C-alpha cells in the first residue's frame, strides 16, 4: 500500500485546469504536483518524506482490505437498505456504459479501489468501493447518482483523500466519486471579490492563480496541504487563520451547486454578498460530510491579501501562554494566526532544522500579524509588552519576508518533525482535534501532558490557541498501541465535552467520532439531523456510515455532559 500511496500522491494531477474571468481569456494553468510537494515546499524535505513512507507502510500492514462490502456482513436490517451483490455489479456495468467514450473515467482496478477506501491517518476504517468514477461535469455526477439510486448502491464522495476521520471510506461498498477532474476555476470576479470554482479545485491552487493574475485577494481558510474546496465544505474546515477569518461556517462559501441522491440539481442561492431569501441552504451542506449530496460548484468570497509578519515568544508554561493570548486578543491586536507549540513541538522543529535559527525549547506562541508597516510595528510592540507581563521571553520577530517564511515553515512542519524526532523506527501518528472555551484550554492541556508523561507517551502539543482548538500529536511505536492510545483520546474527548467543548474542532466526524455525538449534541439535535438526512436521502445511499450515530457504532453516553470543573 505504501507504494500505491506514493505513486498516486506523486503522479496524480491536482489543481485548477481552466480559468475564465472578465479580464482574462481561458487558458491552461500549471498544476502543483501533490500533497507531498506541498510538504516539501513547507520546509519538511526528505525527513518528512521518509517519515511519511514509514508511517504509511506500517499503517497499511495493520489494516486488512476486505474483499466483500461490509454491508453484506452485517444485520438484515442494515443489508435491506442497499441492493444485492447483483445490484452492485449491475450499477458498475451501467456506469461503464455511460462513460464508455472516456475509458479513464471509471476504474475497478483493485489498487485504485484500495487507495480510495482508506487513509494512513485513521485506523480500522479501510473499506474499498466497487468502482471509482471520475466525473468532469455536474451532468456526469447527476448520471452517477441516478444509477446509484436505481440500484440502491452507496455513493462516497472523494476530494483528494486528505480527510482524517474515515470520511471517504466505503464501509458498505458502492461507488466512489473522485472529484479530481472537476478542477476548473470557472469565473473570477475581481471587482466583486469572489470566484466560482468546481468542487475539485484545491484552495492552494486557487490562491496561487489569484496571485499569478495579480489579484491581491485570497481564500483565507487553510485546513492543510492539498485539501479541495468540496472536502473543505464537507468537513466544515478551519485552520491557522481561524482567529482572524473564522471557519468554513463563516460567509466564505456564498452558494453551492449540489446533486442530490435522486439526481436533482440545485443551487442554494445567488452570488450576492448577502440574502434574506429564506434559510441559508448553503450551510446545510457545510459539515454534512457528503451525506446529503455531492457539491459540484461553489461561489467563494475572497479577502484582501495584506502584508504579514511572524513572531515567536516563549513562556514558562501553557497557562502563561494562553493568558497572554487572551489579553492580546482582547486588546484588539490585528492577529491573523495564534499558534501554541509546547516544548516538545519546539524541540522537534529545532531538530528538523528547517529554520534559520533555533528557538528556545519552551511552550511557545507563534504569531502572524497583518497590516501595513506601521500596524505591524505597533502590533509587535503591544504583543511583546503583554507577553512580558505573563512571563514571556526569547521574543523573536522576523525582520524579513524570508525569515517569516522560515519560521512559519517550522510551525507547519510540526507533524513530520515529531515523527522524525520520536526516535521510533516506524513511527505512527494518532490524531485528535478537540476544541474547548479558551479559558479551559490550559486545564485540558496540562491534564493530558501529565498523563502522557506518566505513561511514557511521546505526544507533542499543537494548538490553535486563539479559538481553543488543540491537537496532541500522539506518536506510536507501532500499530499494537492503537487500542491503548484510542482510549486515551476518548478520555480527552470526554473531558473536552465536560468543559463545554467539542470532539472535533476542524477535522469533522466521519466514522471515528460519531460515537461521541450523542453526549455532545443530545437526542433532540441528532433526531433533527436524521430527519433532514432521511428527507433528502430516503434510501440512505449518500456516504453511509459517517456522521450519524447508528446501531453499528453508537456509544451509549449520558447527555448533557457532566458539569465542567474548569469553566
Its CATH architecture, for the domain 185-304, is: 2-Layer Sandwich (3.30)
| pTM, to two decimals | 0.86
Q: Is the pLDDT assigned to residue 74 strictly greater than 90?
A: no
Tell me what the mean pLDDT of segment 78-82 comes to: 78
Q: Residue 478 is placed in which grid cell? A: 507501532
Rounded Cα distance, 87 and 77, in Å: 17
Residue 261 CA, chain-centre distance (Å), reads: 24
Q: Which residues pair with 515 in a beta bridge?
A: none
Domain locations in the chain as residue ranges: 185-304, 308-498
pLDDT grade, residue 283 (50/70/90)?
very high
**Which DSSP category does 356 fall into?**
S
Tell me what the mean pLDDT of segment 517-527 comes to: 95
pLDDT at residue number 259: 99
Pairing of strands 461-464, 335-341: antiparallel
Q: What percent of the chain has pLDDT over 90?
A: 76
**Which has the closest alpha carbon to 155: 165, 142, 137?**
142
Q: Residue 156 is placed in which grid cell? A: 462516497
Q: What is the 3-state secondary structure (H, E, C) of 109-139?
A: CHHHHHHCCCCCCCCCCCCCCCEEECCCCHH
Judge if the upstream peptide bond of residue 195 is cis by omega within 30 degrees of 0: no
Tell me what the mean pLDDT of segment 353-364 comes to: 91
Q: Residue 81 is placed in which grid cell? A: 437498505
The residues, ordered by sequence, that sit 6+ positions from 364 with a Cβ below 8 Å of its Cβ are: 312, 313, 314, 315, 321, 340, 341, 342, 343, 346, 394
pLDDT at residue number 554: 39
Tell me what the mean pLDDT of segment 547-562 comes to: 52
Q: E-assigned strands of 385-483?
A: 393-397, 428-430, 461-464, 469-472, 474-476
308-498, which class in CATH?
alpha beta
pLDDT at residue number 228: 98
Residue 32 CA, chain-centre distance (Å), reads: 19
Q: Is the pLDDT assigned to residue 454 strictly greater than 80?
A: yes
The residues, ordered by sequence, that sit 6+ positions from 529 with a Cβ below 8 Å of its Cβ are: 521, 547, 548
Q: What is the pLDDT of residues 290-313, one digit of tens each?
A: 999 999 999 999 999 999 999 999
Rounded Cα distance, 374 and 307, in Å: 11
Q: What is the pLDDT of residues 125-150, one digit of tens each?
A: 789 999 999 999 999 999 999 999 99
User: Greater confidence, 151 or 357?
Assistant: 151
Tell me what the mean pLDDT of segment 106-122 comes to: 89
Q: Are 324 and 365 in contact (CB under 8 A)?
A: yes
Rounded Cα distance, 102 and 500, in Å: 51
Same fold, 185-304 and 308-498: no
Q: What is the pLDDT of residues 158-202, one digit of tens each?
A: 999 999 899 999 989 999 999 999 999 999 999 999 999 999 999
Tell me what the mean pLDDT of segment 205-224 comes to: 97
Amino acid at each position: 500500500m505504501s507504494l500505491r500511496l506514493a505513486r498516486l500522491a506523486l503522479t496524480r494531477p491536482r489543481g485548477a485546469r481552466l480559468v475564465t474571468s472578465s479580464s482574462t481569456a481561458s487558458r491552461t494553468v500549471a498544476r502543483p504536483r501533490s500533497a507531498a510537494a506541498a510538504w516539501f515546499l513547507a520546509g519538511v524535505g526528505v525527513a518528512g518524506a521518509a517519515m511519511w513512507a514509514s508511517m504509511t507502510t506500517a499503517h497499511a500492514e495493520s489494516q486488512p482490505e476486505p474483499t466483500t462490502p461490509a454491508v453484506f456482513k452485517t444485520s438484515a436490517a442494515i443489508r435491506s437498505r442497499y441492493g444485492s451483490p447483483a445490484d452492485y455489479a449491475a450499477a458498475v456495468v451501467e456506469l461503464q456504459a455511460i462513460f464508455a467514450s472516456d475509458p479513464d473515467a471509471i476504474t475497478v482496478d483493485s489498487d485504485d479501489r484500495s487507495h480510495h477506501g482508506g487513509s494512513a491517518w485513521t485506523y480500522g476504517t479501510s473499506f474499498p468501493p466497487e468502482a471509482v468514477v471520475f466525473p468532469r461535469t455536474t451532468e456526469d455526477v447527476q448520471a452517477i447518482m441516478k444509477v446509484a439510486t436505481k440500484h440502491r448502491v452507496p455513493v462516497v464522495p472523494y476530494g483528494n483523500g486528505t480527510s482524517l476521520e474515515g470520511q471517504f471510506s466505503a464501509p458498505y461498498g458502492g461507488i466512489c466519486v473522485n472529484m479530481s477532474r472537476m478542477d476548473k476555476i470557472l469565473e473570477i470576479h475581481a471587482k466583486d471579490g469572489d470566484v466560482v470554482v468546481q468542487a475539485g479545485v484545491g484552495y492552494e491552487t486557487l490562491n496561487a492563480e489569484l496571485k499569478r493574475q495579480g489579484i491581491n485577494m485570497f481564500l483565507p481558510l487553510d485546513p492543510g496541504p492539498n485539501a479541495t474546496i468540496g472536502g473543505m465544505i464537507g468537513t466544515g474546515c478551519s485552520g491557522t487563520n481561524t482567529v482572524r477569518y473564522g471557519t468554513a461556517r463563516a460567509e466564505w462559501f456564498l452558494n453551492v451547486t449540489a446533486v442530490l441522491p435522486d439526481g436533482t440539481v440545485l443551487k442554494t442561492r445567488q452570488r450576492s454578498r448577502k440574502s434574506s431569501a429564506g434559510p441559508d441552504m448553503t450551510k446545510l451542506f457545510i459539515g454534512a460530510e457528503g451525506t446529503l449530496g455531492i457539491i459540484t460548484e461553489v461561489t467563494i468570497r475572497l479577502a484582501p491579501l495584506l502584508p504579514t509578519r511572524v513572531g515567536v515568544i516563549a513562556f514558562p508554561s501553557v497557562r502563561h501562554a494562553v493568558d497572554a493570548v487572551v489579553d492580546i486578543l482582547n486588546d484588539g491586536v490585528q492577529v491573523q494566526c495564534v499558534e501554541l507549540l509546547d516544548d516538545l513541538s519546539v524541540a522537534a522543529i529545532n531538530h528538523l532544522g528547517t529554520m534559520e535559527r533555533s528557538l528556545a525549547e519552551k511552550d511557545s506562541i507563534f504569531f502572524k500579524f497583518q497590516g501595513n508597516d506601521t500596524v505591524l510595528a505597533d502590533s509587535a510592540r503591544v504583543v511583546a509588552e503583554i507577553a512580558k507581563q505573563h512571563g514571556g521571553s526569547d521574543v523573536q520577530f522576523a525582520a524579513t519576508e524570508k525569515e517569516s517564511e522560515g519560521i512559519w515553515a517550522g510551525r507547519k512542519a510540526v507533524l513530520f518533525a515529531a515523527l522524525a524526532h520520536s526516535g521510533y523506527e516506524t513511527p505512527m501518528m494518532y490524531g485528535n482535534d478537540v476544541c474547548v472555551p479558551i479559558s479551559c484550554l490550559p486545564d485540558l492541556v496540562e491534564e493530558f501532558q501529565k498523563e502522557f508523561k506518566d505513561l511514557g507517551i511521546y505526544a507533542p502539543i499543537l494548538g490553535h490557541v486563539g479559538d481553543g482548538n488543540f491537537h496532541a500529536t500522539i506518536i506510536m511505536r507501532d500499530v499494537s498501541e492503537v487500542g491503548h492510545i484510542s482510549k486515551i483520546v476518548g478520555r480527552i474527548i470526554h473531558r473536552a465535552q465536560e468543559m463545554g467543548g467539542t470532539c472535533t474542532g476542524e477535522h469533522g466526524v466521519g466514522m471515528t467520532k460519531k460515537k461521541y455525538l450523542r453526549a455532545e449534541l443530545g437526542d433532540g439535535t441528532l433526531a433533527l439531523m436524521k430527519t433532514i438526512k432521511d428527507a433528502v436521502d430516503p434510501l440512505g445511499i449518500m456516504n453511509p456510515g459517517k456522521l450519524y450515530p447508528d446501531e453499528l457504532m453508537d456509544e451509549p453516553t449520558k447527555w448533557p455532559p457532566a458539569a465542567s470543573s474548569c469553566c
